[in-house]
Amino acid sequence: MANPLLKPHFPREYGREAGQVEKHEYVDGEVFAMAGAGEGHITVCLNVAMVLRQHLKGSPCRTFMADMKVQANADGAYFYPDVVVTCSSRDAQDPLVKREPTLIVEVLSPSTAAYDRGEKFSRYRQLASLQEYVLVDTDTRATDVFRKRSDGLWVLYPFARDQAVELASVALTIPAAVLFDELGSRRRRHPRLTCPADTMAATLDGKLVVAISSRALFDFEGENEVFEQGDDRAYMALQLERLDTPAKPGVAFSLVQKLLAFNTEAAQQVEVVILSRNDPVSGLRVMKSAAHYALPIIRCTFTRGEAPWRYLKPLRANLFLSTHLSDVRSALAAGVPAARSTRSRPMPAPPTRWVRIAFDGDAVLFSDGAEMVYQTQGLGAFQQHETDKAALPLPDGPFKPLLVAMHRLQQAATPAMRIRTALVTARSAPAHERAIRTLMNWNIEVDEAMFLGGLDKGEFLREFEPDFFFDDQTGHIESAARHVPSGHVASGVRNV
């Protein structure tokens, strides 16, 4: 954003700014000249505006682009959003300024991204009518949707590259191909992790990449009690003292061991990377424990207390398992499937050559849009909503990328190692149809589907014997963890 003009305008005068060559935004007595936008920015704005206008045609709602002014409060702030939707009869009476928007979309640029996420969003939140605030990143092609709950709290719903974006305020889902149509192939490049040894592979492309914390892979709960006391030096000394004592297997050990068994000399299909808050000295014990159990793990990152999730993108991770809830939330916000592993005892791996993975549906494989209907309107409305939309695929959830990667690995299975997947959901008929049709639309087959209609999931999972189960609801996780290794997916309306 440009520097404020030397000559201030006043709100009443500014609110009637019209017919001027330049546009200005007004904030707390200062007027800021707006810079022009680039081709990619304008392209995405047009895509959003066109699909909204077509969708809302015939309704009381109107869609406007960057030349329409929005007044954020009585006298303190005026803005030109990239796209704004208003359904207000009061707004229909004023051709120059809108004061009761329902939806605002801003397409980010490097110079304004921080402002759009921070100060501008804080101003927009003062609008009682505003239901959703959308930020579109043309470089990463990721979209953040901030949605206001009935209690007034704002909740982030991140949509990763290639995910359809769900706008609940106007009951619209925009496919990524439509949102970024004609944008081109330019994108921000992320650094890759490369191995210092020349003989080792320099890319993880094409592999199923699992990033895992040391406490999810091994049982370090005793050592962690020392760390939680606030003395990291004592923790390091304890780990060094136990350097030659292999740690016991942790909750996710079985999953990692079986996935790595897919690798052969001819094809390396799975990569497991340690991504840990441990210090490098303590990391020595982690890697020696992995070697003790003959786990072929060669890549690791230790951050000594700093959040390690930011390295997930360079790793092209398909899954992140951690015991730190904040890291899991950050990973999910970045578009990486992530779950907080339970602290229950590790389960012995069933004596089989199958890797078994079980997924919940809503807010895990699928978005939480249908779940929001259930939470706000009840079971009857939910069943009717899903029946009416049975032929419309559910929007992508945070774990769809993992299911896609598992499906790809499943197709490459050998008699030595195979994958079996299950959908384990509280849905029941008739809501089951939309879930099945969505999987068909994705061209993905799951081996088992359990529509339990609210029955306790734990006992069914005990019979399926998954190496890991993923669910967004803590109640289901607590039930499942008594029987099988489980991970809490901290996303969606049940985790706000």
CATH number at residue 286: 3.40.50.1000
Strands annotated E in 176-254: 208-212, 218-219, 248-249
Lowest mean pLDDT among 173-187, 188-202, 216-230: 188-202
At 75, is the pLDDT very low, low, confident or very high (cuts 50, 70, 90)? low
Answer whether 466's CB lies under 8 Å from 421's CB.
no
Domain end, chosen from 179, 195, 219, is at 179
At residue 232, the pLDDT reads 73
- pLDDT over threshold 80, residue 472: yes
At residue 343, the pLDDT reads 63
C-alpha 439/C-alpha 247 separation (Å) is 40
SS3 state of residue 291: helix
* More confidently predicted of 197 and 59: 59
Provide, rounded to the nearest whole percent, the portion of the chain with pLDDT above 70.
85
- Residues 55 and 96 occupy one common structural domain: yes
- Residues 319 and 367 occupy one common structural domain: no
Answer whether 321's CB lies under 8 Å from 216's CB.
yes
Provide, rounded to the nearest whole percent, the portion of the chain with pLDDT above 90.
51
Answer whether 432's CB lies under 8 Å from 457's CB.
no
- Residues 136 and 262 occupy one common structural domain: no
348 found inside a domain:
no
C-alpha 359/C-alpha 422 separation (Å) is 6
Residue from 249, 250, 247 nearest 285 by CA: 247
At 476, is the pLDDT very low, low, confident or very high (cuts 50, 70, 90)? very high
| 360 in catalytic set | yes
21 found inside a domain:
no
Domain end, chosen from 341, 364, 393, is at 341
Other C-beta atoms within 10 Å of 414: how many?
11
Residue 57 maps to which CATH number? 3.90.1570.10
At residue 351, the pLDDT reads 47
- Residues 157 and 274 occupy one common structural domain: no
C-alpha 425/C-alpha 446 separation (Å) is 13
At residue 188, the pLDDT reads 40
DSSP β-bridge partners for residue 270: 208
C-alpha 485/C-alpha 465 separation (Å) is 9
- pLDDT over threshold 70, residue 236: yes
At residue 193, the pLDDT reads 33
State mean pLDDT over 409-431: 87
20 found inside a domain:
no
- Which amino acid, residue 312? L
301 found inside a domain:
yes
23 found inside a domain:
no
Domain end, chosen from 297, 316, 341, is at 341
At 195, is the pLDDT very low, low, confident or very high (cuts 50, 70, 90)? very low
- Residues 230 and 312 occupy one common structural domain: yes
| Helix%, strand%, coil% for the chain, nearest 5 | 35, 25, 45
The two structure tokens encoding residue 428: 């029941």
- Which amino acid, residue 379? L
State mean pLDDT over 233-252: 88
At residue 463, the pLDDT reads 94
The DSSP code sequence of 364-386 is: TTB-SHHHHHHHHH-HHHHHHHH
Domain carrying residue 398: 354-495
271, containing H or E segment: strand 270-276
25, containing H or E segment: strand 24-27
* More confidently predicted of 189 and 73: 73
Residue from 248, 400, 394 nearest 319 by CA: 400
At residue 264, the pLDDT reads 80
- The catalytic position among 219, 360, 362, 472 is 360
At 224, is the pLDDT very low, low, confident or very high (cuts 50, 70, 90)? confident
Averaged pLDDT score across all residues of the chain = 84
- pLDDT over threshold 60, residue 15: no
- pLDDT over threshold 60, residue 25: no
- Residues 267 and 359 occupy one common structural domain: no
9 found inside a domain:
no
State mean pLDDT over 230-256: 86
- Residues 278 and 375 occupy one common structural domain: no
Nearest 10 degrees: Cα torsion 367, 108, 116, 398: 20
- Residues 385 and 290 occupy one common structural domain: no
At residue 334, the pLDDT reads 92
- pLDDT over threshold 50, residue 440: yes
- Residues 236 and 112 occupy one common structural domain: no
Residue from 37, 171, 35, 44 nearest 103 by CA: 171
At residue 80, the pLDDT reads 87
At residue 429, the pLDDT reads 93
- Residues 104 and 171 occupy one common structural domain: yes
Q: Using one digit for the tens of pLDDT, what is the confidence trace for 352-406?
A: 678 999 999 999 999 998 888 888 898 899 999 999 999 999 999 999 999 999 9
Residue from 240, 347, 234 nearest 286 by CA: 240
pTM, entire model? 0.60
What is the tally of structural domains in the chain?
A: 3
At 225, is the pLDDT very low, low, confident or very high (cuts 50, 70, 90)? confident
Q: Which residue has the tokens 């340690």?
A: 274
Answer whether 139's CB lies under 8 Å from 188's CB.
yes
At residue 487, the pLDDT reads 95
C-alpha 259/C-alpha 145 separation (Å) is 34
143 found inside a domain:
yes
441 found inside a domain:
yes
Q: Using one digit for the tens of pLDDT, what is the confidence trace for 27-70?
A: 545 544 455 567 888 899 999 999 999 999 999 999 998 888 88
- pLDDT over threshold 70, residue 283: yes
- Residues 337 and 374 occupy one common structural domain: no
Lowest mean pLDDT among 64-73, 93-102, 322-331, 345-354: 345-354
Residue from 140, 124, 115, 120 nearest 44 by CA: 140
- Residues 416 and 473 occupy one common structural domain: yes
- Per the document, the length of the chain is 496
